[in-house]
């Protein structure tokens, strides 16, 4: 066996023309075959076992995250993340086997090297997760923001519902809002309410206007006794 390290990585290529005529390559275009041939020449043809592990890891991540709207650069990062996770798993197994054999002068350097590789991989994994925005911290922040948005939306809907369903009673003399009411039977003619306006006027006197309103009449006027002073937002 040759001691030249470069020879260990040299790929012995088959006859290109014969290979092109094989059944498994019949469906390829010339460009696709050339790309495959180039990868074969440099030893970069995907290893099925490794590709299967990447696909499995990808499916595991898809159970927790939504990757449906990913762009091509994000997909590259996702593949890198899967590879890093697989490598970390492999190094964890190596580290475990070395420790179970007992730490000694023969393997302590290897343990140290494996430990450094694992540390670097964890940093890479964390960085890729940040780039893809799938870290636990970011997911928790997004979830909290979503809850806050939902609460604010419900509050806004409740406010609008309140404004649309309530009846507004104004003083016919000074246009002061005297009260808002909601009744279960607004069409009942006997449902009436009497209010007295106690607004302080500029001359230090009270308005003193007394008003009796009918819920049925206010219903006809879009929920108020005085639609002219009712703000448009309440109409």
Per DSSP, the residues of 157-193 read HHHHHHHHHSEEEE-TTT--EEEEE--S-TT-TT-EE
Contacts of 175 (CB under 8 A, 6+ apart): 226, 229
Q: Annotate 59-113 with DSSP letters as a single string.
A: HHHHTTS--TT--HHHHHHHHHHHHHHHHHHHHHHHHHHHHHT---TTTHHHHHH
Long-range CB contacts (< 8 A, 24+ apart) of 45-54? 50/86, 53/86, 54/79, 54/82, 54/83, 54/86
Q: What confidence score (pLDDT) does residue 106 get?
A: 73
Q: What confidence score (pLDDT) does residue 197 get?
A: 93
Please say whether the beta carbons of 118 and 111 come within 8 A: no
| 214 closest CA partner among 201, 203, 225 | 225
Q: How far apart are CA 209 and CA 212, in angstroms?
A: 10
Contacts of 88 (CB under 8 A, 6+ apart): 118, 121, 122, 125
Q: How far apart are CA 126 and CA 228, in angstroms?
A: 62
Q: What confidence score (pLDDT) does residue 154 get?
A: 79
pLDDT in tens, the chain (235 residues): 445 444 444 456 667 777 777 776 677 788 777 766 666 665 544 567 778 888 888 888 888 777 777 788 888 888 899 989 988 898 888 888 888 877 777 778 888 888 888 999 999 999 988 888 876 555 556 666 777 777 878 777 777 766 667 889 999 998 899 998 888 898 999 999 999 999 998 888 999 999 999 999 998 888 889 888 876 645 5
Q: How far apart are CA 67 and CA 134, in angstroms?
A: 10
Q: What confidence score (pLDDT) does residue 133 get?
A: 81
Exposed/middle/buried for 181, CB within 10 Å: 0-12, 13-18, 19+?
middle
Q: How, if at all, do strands 177-181 and 192-196 pair?
A: unpaired
């Amino acid at each position: 066996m040759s001691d030249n390290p470069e020879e260990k990585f040299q790929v012995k290529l088959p006859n290109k023309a014969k290979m092109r005529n094989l059944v498994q390559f019949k469906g390829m275009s010339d460009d696709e075959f050339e790309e495959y041939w180039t990868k074969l020449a440099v030893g970069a043809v995907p290893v099925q076992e490794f590709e299967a592990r990447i696909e499995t890891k990808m499916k595991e991540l898809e159970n927790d995250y939504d990757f449906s709207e990913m762009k091509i650069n994000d997909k590259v990062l996702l593949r890198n993340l899967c590879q890093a996770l697989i490598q970390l798993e492999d190094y964890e197994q190596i580290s475990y086997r070395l420790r179970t054999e007992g730490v000694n002068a023969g393997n302590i350097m290897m343990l140290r090297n494996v430990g450094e590789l694992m540390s670097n991989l964890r940093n890479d994994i964390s960085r890729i997760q940040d780039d893809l925005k799938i870290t636990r911290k970011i997911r928790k922040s997004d979830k909290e923001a979503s809850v806050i948005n939902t609460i604010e939306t419900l509050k806004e809907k409740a406010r609008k519902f309140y404004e649309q369903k309530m009846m507004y009673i104004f003083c016919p003399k000074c246009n002061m809002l005297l009260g808002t009411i909601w009744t279960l039977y607004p069409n009942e003619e006997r449902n009436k309410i009497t209010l007295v306006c106690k607004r302080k006027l500029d001359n230090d006197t009270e308005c003193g206007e007394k008003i009796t309103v009918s819920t049925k009449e206010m219903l006809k006027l879009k929920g108020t006794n005085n639609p002219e002073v009712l703000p448009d937002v309440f109409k």
